[in-house]
Structure 1
Amino acid sequence: MIQHQLIEACRRNDRKAQLKLYEKYSQGMYYVALRFMKNEHDAEEAMQEGFIQAFTKLHQFTGEVTFGAWLKRIVINKSIDMLKARKLDLVALDEHRVAKVEEDNNWDVADSVTINQVKEAIAKLPERYKYPVMLFLIEGYDHEEISEILNITAVSSRTLVHRGKRKLQEHLKAYYNGTGS
């Protein structure tokens, strides 16, 4: 069954089709949730809740993006909602104090730094930087999308990502200098 037919069957509440779609995407969505949730149980819960919401709102899927991208956004939103519920509030910056942030694509980090070291460094960032940086660098969202997901402005997204990348870079330089763990 091709994906379009599978999605149409899911819209008709076909449980077998829903199971097939779940089996196709559950592992990837679990790892998306795990990047936010820090433990397997919470990641599983966020992923499951994301699927429930996706199946409930499948009528809103227009096909403008791939189903996987649409589902990924739901799982990320569900993960962030769960974190917010635990009082890990994301701090929006005061728009009046935000200086214009230029895109900083200059990464002076050694080529020997691994993706796992980058992920570990992101996990150590303060909460207000961690999620915008993760959405930008790991998930590939732009500032408009991040602003919608985190309910902040695009200017705040740019600022948080810029500052978070600086802190991330500082931490990763320790690996370059041989003092990283």
Structure 2
Amino acid sequence: MFQIELVEQCKANNRKAQVKLYRQYCDGMYCVAMRFLKNEDDAEDVLQESFVKAFQKIHQFKGEVTFGAWLKRIVINKSLDFLKSKHEKMVELDETYMQVAEDDDWTIDDGVSVDEVLSEIEGLPEKYKHVVQLFLVEGYDHSEISQILNLTENTCRTRLLRGKGHLRESLKKKNYGTGS
């Protein structure tokens, strides 16, 4: 069965189609939630809430992107909402007045593994971590990240640039034992 047909059956509230769509995407979306939440129980809860929301809002799916991309957006938003609900309110620095110098160079030393980079992303300050993760790991652009995180594109670019700087420094310290 083609995915479009499956989605259309889900729009008609066909439970078998919903189960089939769930089984098709649950493992991949669980991995997305785990990248943000780092806790199996929390990831499972967010995954279930995401699918419930997706099936409640499936009539809004217009096919402009793949169903997987649409669902991934829901999972990421639910994951970020979950993280926000766990943290106390923080005072935000107004970064809208700052100018961003573009730096598209994401190269790192050859001896650094993907796992090391992912581990160091986890150690970034919250406001940089999510922007870097959405950009590097999830593949979103500045416009999409700014919509997901409800930031201006300029703030998104600033946080990405700063997050990249923090990431480089932490990788240097980890690999060389010094910050210089």
Q: TM-score range by the shorter chain?
A: over 0.9
Match of 2:147 in 1: 148
CA distance in 2 between partners of 1:61 and 1:147 (Å): 21
Q: Percent identity?
A: 56
After TM superposition, the score normalised by the length of structure 2 is 0.92
Structure 2: give runs of 5+ residues left out of the alignment. Answer: none
Q: Which contiguous aligned blocks of 4+ residues in structure 1 show a shift greater than 6 angstroms?
A: none
Per the TM alignment, residue 173 of structure 1 is displaced from its structure 2 partner at its CA by: 1.8
Secondary structure of the 1:63 match is: coil
Match of 2:12 in 1: 12
Query: Are 2:135 and 2:141, in contact at CA under 8 Å, matched by a contact in 1?
Result: yes
1:86-122 per-position Cα deviation (integer Å, ceiling 9, x unaligned): 1255765414532x21221223521121111111000
Secondary structure of the 1:131 match is: helix
Matches within 5 A, 1:1-181: 1-87=1-87, 92-98=92-98, 100-177=99-176
Aligned residues: 178
Secondary structure of the 2:69 match is: helix
Query: Are 2:96 and 2:154, in contact at CA under 8 Å, matched by a contact in 1?
Result: no
1:1-30 per-position Cα deviation (integer Å, ceiling 9, x unaligned): 110110011001111100110000000000
1:111-135 per-position Cα deviation (integer Å, ceiling 9, x unaligned): 1211111110000001111111101
Structure 1: give runs of 5+ residues left out of the alignment. Answer: none
After TM superposition, the score normalised by the length of structure 1 is 0.92
Secondary structure of the 2:127 match is: helix
Per the TM alignment, residue 174 of structure 1 is displaced from its structure 2 partner at its CA by: 3.1
CA distance in 2 between partners of 1:86 and 1:75 (Å): 17
Over aligned residue pairs, what C-alpha RMSD do you find? 1.7
CA distance in 2 between partners of 1:143 and 1:96 (Å): 15
| CA spacing shift, 1:42–1:96, aligned 2, 3 Å | closer
